[in-house]
Amino acid sequence: MKIIIKNGIIIDGFRNTRKSNILIENGIIKAIDGSLEAVDGIVINADGKYVLPGFVDMHTHLRQPGFEEKETIKTGTHAAVSGGYTTVACMPNTNPAIDSDVVVEYIKAIAKREAYAKVLTIGAMTKGMKGEELTEMSKLKDVGVKALSDDGYPIMNSGLMKRVMTYGKMYDLLMITHCEDKSLSGEGVMNNGIVSTMIGLKGIPHEAEEVMVARNILLAKSTGARLHIAHVSTKGSVELIKQAKCEGVRITAEVTPHNISLTEDMVDGFDTNTKAYPPLRTQEDVVSLIEGLIDGTIDVIATDHAPHTKKDKKVPYSQAAFGISGIETAFSVVNTYLVKKGKITLEDLVNYMCKKPAEILNIPTGIKIGNPADITIVDADKEYIVDAEKFKSKGKNTPFNRKRLIGQIEYTIVDGKIMYKKDEGIE
């Protein structure tokens, strides 16, 4: 099957932006040429649109197996392509956790049958994510996990974390850490500060994150493991990561779209859709996270797509589940709050949402001849009002509901197949 994408502005991921045409054949980018003529295949008119490499999300919760009422591999990847993502790496906090080769194979089998996007797996660091016993990393590596993480269940025991990193280094597996010192975050449900005091909710202090960022940096330094800090949310963490990079520690980091666009003030009103780990922080933190992206301290924007049911969220704030369903709004949030405000360019967005995560996960990316045809076409100026009820995700839990955002996904092409087209359900 052939597809030709005509007259779009191509941001190829190699800092070479130009107006041209792309020919896709047998799932591969076959030619990029301004003089390409129509072929006997599908012609997509991308005039006035941007043609980008497919987004890569290195932090997605697909919930299957075990929490299919929140999301499944099918609905989560349907949401992914409607958000412009062609590859997602799924976190292991499922039930059972992704802590053995059997669970990885199970996910791969379902993804092969049902997924709209490519699914990579992240294995657990400890069995059942209990923070007690290491998983069999060599087996996980053999079945293709891209990284290890106990996301959601931070490993409090430093000795154990050091052993995880020592073995992780042996198998050259990326260590993705959710940095939260439970003894400091305690019963907290939002950022600890003026707002939490005013509205009477228990706070999570910034040092709950920073203590663990610092510890994990020290352990990565001594073991030589490759460390990736998940969902960085504070100014102090940015400073610690910056210093670690200066010292040559093998470290990368990500931020979420919500942590670089919203602040703790949103919690006033008790909308449980603002509740996530890490919590929405202060304006000073937001500024520092964006500076971190710009100066290269932070490498990646990852969604931490964390779908929950209405039942999980329709409870008092303190009891609601942590997490935001974010994969369908990620592009427009980053476009609205960063690109349209002149803080970063669309080329930068491609760097944070395609290039860097693909490099860290060691998968091909970018629009160049011979690469898999993973392509997202966007209208960067189109405004729309978010309607969570229309999400493909089962999780309608978004703090952006009914907000006006700029930028819409027009097409998402995975391995040369159109997996999403705006206004048209592709089932």
Ligand X SMILES: NC(=O)N[C@@H](CC(=O)O)C(=O)O
Binding site for Zn ion (CB under 5 A): 151, 178, 304
Per-residue x/- track, 155-194, ligand X (CB under 6 A): -----------------------x----------------
Between residues 3 and 320, which has the closer beta carbon with respect to ligand X?
320
Q: Least distance to ligand X from the beta carbon of 222, Å?
A: 25
Instruction: Please name the helix (run of DSSP H) or strand (run of DSSP E) that holds residue 168, with its range, or none.
Output: helix 158-170
**Binding ligand X by CB under 6 A: which of 8, 53, 123, 152?**
152
- Interface with ligand X, residue 374, by CB under 6 A: no
Would the annotation count 16 as a binding residue? Answer: no
Calculated CA dihedral for residues 29, 257, 99, 134, nearest 10 degrees: 120
Per CB under 6 A, does 322 bind ligand X?
A: yes
b/e map of 27-65 (b: 16 or more CB within 10 Å)?
bebbebeeebeeeeeeebebeebbbbbbbbbbbbbbbbb
30 vs 281 by CB, closer to Zn ion: 281
Which residues neighbour 152 within 8 Å (Cβ) at sequence distance 6 or greater? 91, 93, 129, 178, 277
Known binder of ligand: residue 78?
no
59 labeled part of a ligand binding site:
yes
Residues 277, 317, 391, 420: which binds ligand X (CB under 6 A)? 277
CB of 337 to ligand X, least distance (A): 19
Find the binder of ligand X among 298, 306, 320, 358 (CB under 6 A): 306
Tell me whether residue 206 is annotated as binding.
no
In the shown chain, the binding pattern of residues 51 to 70 toward ligand X, with x for contact by CB under 6 A and - for none, equals ----------x---------
Neighbours of 68 (CB within 10 A): 16
Q: Is 146 helix (H, G, I), strand (E, B) or coil?
A: coil
CB of 304 to ligand X, least distance (A): 5
322 binds, among Zn ion, ligand X, none (CB under 5 to 8 A by kind): ligand X
Residues serving a catalytic function are: 304
Q: How far is the CB of 7 from Zn ion (least distance, A)?
A: 39
**Which residue intervals of 193-251 are DSSP H helices?**
194-199, 206-223, 235-246
258 is in an annotated binding site: no
Buried-state track 338-357, b at ≥16 Cβ within 10 A, e below 16: bbeeebbebbbbbbbbbbbb
Give the Cα-Cα-Cα angle 8, 51, 26 (nearest 5 degrees).
Answer: 100
**How many positions of this chain bind ligand X (CB under 6 A)?**
11
User: Is 357 a residue that touches ligand X (CB under 6 A)?
Assistant: no
Nearest to Zn ion by Cβ — which residue? 178
Task: Note whether 323 binds ligand X by CB under 6 A.
Answer: yes
CB atoms within 10 A of CB 396: 18
Name the nearest CA neighbour of 151 among 225, 208, 222, 97.
97
Residue 218: exposure state from Cβ atoms within 10 A (0-12, 13-18, ≥19) = middle
Q: Is the bond preceding residue 96 a cis peptide, omega within 30 degrees? A: yes
- Residues annotated as binding site? 59, 61-63, 93, 151, 178, 231, 304, 308, 322-323
Binding residues (CB under 6 A) for ligand X: these are 61, 93, 151-152, 178, 276-277, 304, 306, 322-323
- Residues annotated as binding site for substrate? 61-63, 93, 308, 322-323
- Residues annotated as binding site for Zn(2+)? 59, 61, 151, 178, 231, 304
